[in-house]
Structure 1
Amino acid sequence: MSSSLAPNRADSGHNAAAPDPRPTIANAADVSHLVNHGAATGSDARVVVAIALGGVFLDAYDLGALAFGVKDINREFGLTPTGIGFIASAITFGAIVGAFIGGYLTDRIGRYRVFMADMFFFVIAAIACALAPNAWVLGGARFVMGLGVGIDLPVAMAFLAEFSRLQGRGNKASRVAMWCPTWYAAISVSYLLVLGLYFTLPATHAGWLWRLLLGFGAVPAVVIIAVRSRYMSESPVWAANQGDLDGAAAILRRSYGLDVRVDATAAGRLRAVTPRRATWGNYGALFQGVYRRRTILATMMSVASPFAYNAVAFGLPVIISSFLAQSMLTTILCSLALNLCFAFVGGLVSVRIVPRVGAWKLTVFGYVLQFVALVGLALVGRPHSGVEVAIAVSMLAAFLLGQGVGPGSHTMTYASLSYPTSLRGVGVGLNQTITRASSTVSLFLFPVLAAALATKVFWVIAVAPLAGLLILLAIRWEPSGYDVDAEDYVGRR
């Protein structure tokens, strides 16, 4: 950090004024340095992180809430296969559009404004889904909900990265990776709600199940909106990048508990670099200079990871029911147990150890575990004995554990921490645009391939983690612990 952050020294002489003990900020680099060293005890920074994770929770919940409601929707509205596909895919198409737009807006108008706007998307869309009188309204509301999901993830990742320290426990990589267990927690909540409604709704009102599930998404969004004025702030690094040092200082006092002093006269002590302006052209900047290799790596991961995960996770109820040939209740319970015990726990483990182990090693391990699990499922095929069933379920558990420990946590780490503040929004926006496109292809192809290939479909899915593993071995980039935001201040490479 520059000398401008040191307390002002008194002039020599007996009548010199006492030095000001407050740290001084003269430019965005000084603000970034203070953020990298962490917030004061009792500050609001952790609450801001928690609220941002609440947005991630909403994303996951809204994407997964319809998994057990498609049959009831089909029964109520009398849909054709094309109509079912329209309802199921509307949210992912909305997320593709939302991610691309949201990445740009996050860098252009700020993290706070975008975050608050997309919360209203969630409330309005969730209520519209719950009250939808026909399939067209439901599909349109799901598309709007997808816009909110797509817009939210770039801004949520920016908050997680820009309200966290650089190294040590709770560092940037660890905080960004928290999106993963939060995601699985939301999926598990949707399963628990299905379970609760399964037991409480009378048979005559079973058609309400999907409406209640979708409408519930408005509840956490309303809570977030209610508490925003007390805790949420703009990212101090983004504000400083826009030249608003006074605003950045106010955020540091409010959210970080740091009483700082703005010294505009000291700006010349450091080499000043004008931050990159937020334009649509910044998507092209992701493929230039040092960012090209990082973008190729993050892009390949954002294709491979969701393709494999969506095929297995969203097909999990079907897979389990074919393995176990049991009731809907057994399918729900097994899906819930596998998500909580393996994907969720794996994500928590990754959050805890990534500051020491690094994102690269954990992602390599996760891909290896997933590849082995999918090959195992392909070799077992349709199990006919208790031993084969146990092996098949163990392979599913291993796949989900690998997802939680590795690519599930760190595909977003690479997307968020491969770029500095000026490019973070578009970096995550591009990642999520590709992720949603890959998810859409996976969700479409899995039932088609499963019908044609049966359990041999796992050989096809196994190509995805293998591709992710190979690209990681080719590009050995470690984002954890690296001060990527400094690239905004030391010149362009």
Structure 2
Amino acid sequence: MVGEGASTGGNARWVIAIALGGVFLDAYDLTSLAYGVKDIAREFALSPAQVGLVSAAITFGAILGALVGGYLTDRIGRYRVFMADMLFFVVAAIAAGFAPNAWVLGGARFLMGFGVGLDLPVAMAFLAEFSKVTGKGSKAASVAAWCPAWYAATSTCYLLILGLYAALPEHQLGWLWRFTLAFGAVPALLIIAVRSRYISESPVWAANQGDLEGAARILKRAYGVEVVVQREHTATHEPRVASWRSYGALFRGRYARRTVLAATIGAASSFGYNAIVYGLPVILASFLKQGPLTAIVAALTLNLLFAFVGGLIGVRFVSRFGAWKMTAVGHALQFASLIGLALIGRPGSGVFVVLAILLLGGYLLGQGFGPGAHSMSFASLSYPTSLRGVGVGFNQTLVRTASTVSLFLFPILAAALGTQVFWVIALAPLTSLVVLLLIRWDPAGYDIDAEDYGRGAVAAA
């Protein structure tokens, strides 16, 4: 029934939209400090090491939050975790915006990262469990929609920064980072405001816990259908209660190969993308020989034209081509783009500058329709309801770790190697492409939740 989609009058589509709103908030909060680091260092008289700690606080929080959030999502339910992490976002955003010193700012950013870590497992669970298996609006397409939502959030953040930059008097530009951070509370408050009307627990999770009556009520609310629970089934159903040992199940039986594949795609994608996207203003400044404002506008334009559009392509065509093929093609395009950038080096003439920028766009396009869109499909649709939270949580712990390593190493490698750093970054998509060729698992169109009930789930024709 859930696999066939919502009926007229149900609110399942609203649940999906609100879950994507949570993803939007995750991306906004992770991006919001990018522009104001220099102002923060000047205001609080921070050393480079202290700046690094403040900047990295959110990623450290996200690593811990993902590990805990994955467990809690499966243990106490999707709804409770989702409502709790929205409160994290509100409190952390306001505290960061009004931080009187670097310690409060770092603590608020850590708390914000913990909320991000909590949110992604539950958001992916909502997207997977309120969508149908195949066709338009399928599980794979709904989960892939996290990618354009993410790019829309990063673009919104940069647009807000540019708008504030233009509106604020020059002597008040030091407040820009505070306004940007505090604004993160606004979408969180909007989500909280509509939660009681539209959001509900996942009916699949409720049924997994043995609460078939509750699952029937949720189906009525979310899908607009009447369900009759047969009493004899209620008595014989065994609840699937999550525990910390659930993480061990990710490495046993059929799930072991899927875990390796999902982890490789996620970590490689995060390492390469973070090196490129956070280094993009610096890379473009060296290519264009312009000031930082021009570089930020160019980076924003590239993300919208290539990464965001690529994400939309990934959502549109995953039901036709599958997540495996689109991820493999995306990685191949990324690898080719990075090799091209490494061979060009620092472009001298106008032709090579244009070619280098197009190659950067090619990398972002490949990220958008490939691993950017579908890394979460491999992370969330490789496991049934009973393991989905811990599956995404474990995956995100590795992804955030790779992101932290990338953000730390890229400035060092770029300073030492110059544009030859692209050879190093190219190893990320190459590694993922090799593992994809070795493990040919495609979660798109596969009824993964049937595995919780011992049925042989089959891929859709």
Rounded to whole Å, the distance in 2 between the matches of 1:480 and 1:275 is 27
Once residues 389 and 274 of structure 1 are traced to their aligned partners in structure 2, the CA distance between those partners, rounded to angstroms, is 62
Aligned residue for 1:334, secondary structure, equals helix
**Is 2:432 the counterpart of 1:465?**
no
Correspondent of 2:309 among 320, 345, 353: 345
Distance 2:168 2:209 in 1: 53
Q: Is the 8 A contact 2:147 2:368 kept in 1?
A: yes
Q: Which runs of 5+ in 2 are unaligned?
A: none
Residues 207-356 of structure 1 mapped to structure 2, 5 A cutoff: 207-265=174-232, 274-356=238-320
- Which residue is 1:174 aligned to? 141
Deviations 1:317-360 (A, max 9, x none): 11111111212221121111111111000000110110011000
Residue 388 of structure 2 is matched in structure 1 by 424
Of 361-370 and 332-341, deviating more is 332-341
For residues 209 and 475 of structure 1, the distance between their equivalents in structure 2, rounded to whole angstroms, comes to: 47
Distance in 2 of aligned mates of 1:347 and 1:302:
16
Deviation at 1:75, TM superposition (A): 1.2
The more displaced of 252-261 and 425-434 is 252-261
Q: Is the 8 A contact 1:370 1:465 kept in 2?
A: yes
Identify the range of structure 1 (319-328 vs 125-134) with the bigger mean alpha-carbon deviation.
319-328
Give 2:344's aligned residue. 380
Give runs of aligned pairs for residues 142-157 of structure 1, distance below 5 A.
Answer: 142-157=109-124
Separation (CA, whole Å) in 2 of partners of 1:423 and 1:383: 49
2:335 maps to a residue whose letter is F
Partners of 1:273 and 1:490 within 8 A in 2: no
Aligned partner of 1:61 in structure 2 is 28
CA deviation map 1:18-39 (0-9, x unaligned): xxxxxxxxxxxxxxxx100111
Contact 1:359 1:479 in 2 (8 A): yes
Match in the other structure for 1:16: none
| Aligned partner letter, 1:127 | I
How far apart in 2 are the matches of 1:353 and 1:279? 36
| Equivalent residue letter for 2:138 | N
How far off its partner does 1:383 sit?
1.0
What is the number of equivalent residue pairs in this alignment?
457
Aligned residue for 1:261, secondary structure, equals coil
Counterpart position of 1:128: 95
Report the Cα distance in structure 2 between the residues aligned to 1:275 and 1:284, rounded to whole angstroms: 19
Q: CA deviation at 1:443?
A: 0.2
Distance 1:273 1:460, change over 3 A: farther
Matched, 1:94 2:58: no
Aligned to 1:17: none
Residue in 1 aligned with 2:444?
480
Aligned to 2:15: 48
User: For residue 365 of structure 1, what is the amino acid of its counterpart?
Assistant: V
1:392 is aligned to: 356
Q: Percent identity?
A: 67
Number of the residue aligned with 1:80: 47
Does the 8 Å contact 2:288/2:353 carry over to 1? yes
Alpha-carbon distance in structure 2 between the residues aligned to 1:235 and 1:448: 45
Partner Cα separation in structure 1 for residue 164 and residue 349 of structure 2: 33
Whether the 8 Å contact between 2:29 and 2:181 is mirrored in structure 1 is: yes
What amino acid maps onto 2:202 in structure 1? S
Deviations 1:31-69 (A, max 9, x none): xxx100111023200000000000000100000111111
Amino acid of the residue matched to residue 412 of structure 2?
V
Q: CA deviation at 1:267?
A: 6.0
Counterpart secondary structure, 1:118:
helix
Larger Rg: 1
Instruction: Confirm or deny: 8 A CA contact 1:236 1:247 kept in the other structure.
Output: yes
- What RMSD in Å do the two structures reach over aligned CA positions? 1.3
TM-score (norm. length: structure 1)? 0.91
Contact map agreement 2:44 2:102 (CA 8 A) in 1: yes
Query: Mind listing any 5+ residue stretches in structure 1 that lack a counterpart?
Result: 1-33
Q: Contact conserved, 1:191 with 1:336, CA < 8 A, in 2?
A: yes
Q: Which residue of 2 aligns with 1:22?
A: none
- Residue deviations 1:398-427 (CA, integer Å, cap 9, x gap): 000000010001111000000000000000
Q: Is the 8 A contact 1:273 1:488 kept in 2?
A: no
- Please say if residues 210 and 238 of structure 2, whose CA atoms lie closer than 8 Å, have aligned partners that are also in contact: no
